[in-house]
Amino acid sequence: MKQTIILGAGMAGIGAGLHLLKRGVDVTIVDQTEPGRETSYGNAGLIQTEAVEPYALPRDIGKLFMIATGISNDVYYEISNLPSHALSLLKYWWYSGPSQYGKISKAYASIISRSTAEHAPFIAEAGAEDLVAHDGFRTFYRDGREFEKGIANAKRLFETYGLGSSVMTGRQLMEAEPHIQISGAGAIHWPDTWAVRDPGSLVVAYADLFRKLGGKIVRGDAQSLSPSGSGWKVTTVDGPVEADAVVVALGPWSPTLLQSFGYDIQMVRKRGYHMHYRSDTPLNVPLMDMANGYVLAPMLKGMRITTGAELTKEASLAAPVQLKRAHKAASEIIPLGSPVENAPWSGTRPCMPDMLPVIGEAPKHKGLWFHFGHGHQGFTLGPATGRMLAELMTGETPFTDATPFRPARLF
């Protein structure tokens, strides 16, 4: 394989492109927008080493009741949108069962444990150190009972994965964050997670590095993808581009493209929102308010609130109900100030029913490769899964077992 087209200029596409370039492959990335303008732009900016287990569908009756009745701010939905999610959610519920989830988490941990190690050289080569803070991330608990559950879970994660954390009392949290107005029950500090002050800018920095190393990024229409001889072709503003192989790294848009090639892919699409606020009293470290399902993160543009999951149809209008609730809750923690934007940003997270990204060659088409379905962690995982994809494409032995992520599992 000498030439590859990558469809998608988000963190997954750029991460794979950098690893392929370093293996001597001629790579062209094609996207209809500039790098890092979609889901890779709108996240909480965390490179989350502590997220060793993916987001499962709750099986606890109490939590399901809170989601169903709209009490919980973790998940929001309109009843009219649920039929389009029925099959995906049913599979998601099954894979969230104890026996399946244990195997899934083991595979998931094997890639997310590489997240900072794979980001680090790219950050250094791109000269993007000023965008990244290494002070960790905190989960904040308002309720004492939930705090105790959080502490027990942190202990379990240490025993299972060796994941480090430290427990903070409410007083210790207020000492570490002088502008916090409520102490709650306490917090758990995850020291090894990195916080990025502008996620979109980090993707742009990686894209600049990609170009510097000889890669090409062009505007084009992924839907124009077609076989061409023994390879593939796509239409761009600079004319047709042909290559031996093509990688589909289009996040939530991947199933739509692949449907035309005979692949019916179920995906749980979770829309998220964010907005920045001109706070004069920012946090030092990103904070997740566990009771209200959002992350409050200091960014270059201001304090960013990033919401949980809204189950929605692809073409549904924005409904920032969760963001309004999160704003009210966050205002109890710190003074937020006025909004920076006139309207909230929204984007869709591409979540597979079994919670694992899809990495590998298509079952029915030679030279067609999949790299999508990272769920809430595309920004975290892009360089790590990009390495796995590049290793598979060039015949190397992957850094960890790639079998759980193979596309064939979906069909």
Q: What is the tens place of the pLDDT at every residue in 242-261?
A: 999 999 999 999 999 999 99
Residue 216 belongs to some domain of the structure? yes
Q: Is the pLDDT confidence value at 315 over 70?
A: no
Mean of pLDDT values over 270-278: 94
Residue 141 belongs to some domain of the structure? no
CA dist 349 and 172 (Å) reads 34
Phi, psi torsion values for 268, nearest 5 degrees? -90, 110
Q: Residue 269 is inside which H or E element, if any? A: strand 268-277
The average confidence (pLDDT) of the chain is 93
- Per DSSP bridges, beta strands 137-141 and 75-77 are unpaired
Percent of the residues in the chain that have a pLDDT greater than 70, as a whole number: 97
pLDDT at 79: 74
Give the global pTM: 0.94
Helix axes 98-112, 378-393, angle to 10 degrees: 80
Q: Residue 79 is inside which H or E element, if any? A: none
pLDDT at 42: 83
Q: pLDDT by residue (tens digit) across 325-346? A: 999 999 999 999 999 999 999 9
Nearest to 43 by CA among 270, 199, 193: 199
Of 82-96, 227-241, 333-347, 352-366, which range is least confident? Answer: 82-96
DSSP state at residue 168: E
Q: pLDDT by residue (tens digit) across 367-409? A: 999 999 999 999 999 999 999 999 999 999 999 999 999 999 9
pLDDT at 54: 95
Residue 69 belongs to some domain of the structure? no
Spatial contact of 263 and 362, defined as CB atoms under 8 Å apart: yes
Q: Is the pLDDT confidence value at 64 over 70?
A: no
Helix axes 11-21, 115-126, angle to 10 degrees: 80
Residue 221 belongs to some domain of the structure? yes
Residue 115 belongs to some domain of the structure? yes
Q: What is the DSSP string of 33-49?
A: S-TT-STTTSS--EE-T
Residue 259 belongs to some domain of the structure? yes
Q: How far is CA 35 from CA 30, 41, 253, 275, in A?
A: 10, 9, 16, 20
pLDDT at 68: 66
pLDDT at 69: 65
Q: Is the pLDDT confidence value at 314 over 70?
A: no
Neighbours of 259 (CB within 10 A): 11
Q: pLDDT by residue (tens digit) across 100-127? A: 999 999 999 999 999 999 999 999 999 9
Q: pLDDT by residue (tens digit) across 12-50? A: 999 999 999 999 999 999 999 888 777 778 899 999 999
Domain span at residue 34 reads 1-50+97-126+194-265+353-411
pLDDT at 46: 97
Q: Is the pLDDT confidence value at 99 over 70?
A: yes
Cβ neighbours of residue 254 under 8 Å, at least 6 residues apart? 248, 265, 267, 350, 370, 372, 373
Residue 339 belongs to some domain of the structure? no
pLDDT at 311: 83
Q: Please tell me the total count of domains within the chain.
A: 1
CA dist 90 and 56 (Å) reads 12
Nearest to 398 by CA among 357, 366, 368, 359: 359
CA dist 146 and 136 (Å) reads 21
CA dist 45 and 198 (Å) reads 7
Mean of pLDDT values over 61-70: 68
Q: pLDDT grade, residue 65 (50/70/90)? A: low
Q: pLDDT by residue (tens digit) across 70-82? A: 767 788 777 777 7
pLDDT at 29: 98
Encoding tokens for residue 162? 């060796």
CATH code of the domain in which 220 resides: 3.50.50.60
Q: pLDDT by residue (tens digit) across 143-194? A: 999 999 999 999 999 999 999 999 999 999 999 999 999 999 999 999 999 9
Nearest to 54 by CA among 114, 102, 116, 90: 102
Q: pLDDT grade, residue 281 (50/70/90)? A: confident
pLDDT at 1: 63
Residue 136 belongs to some domain of the structure? no
Q: Is the pLDDT confidence value at 276 over 70?
A: yes
In this structure, the dihedral spanned by the alpha carbons of residues 202, 206, 211 and 213, taken in order and rounded to 10 degrees, is 150
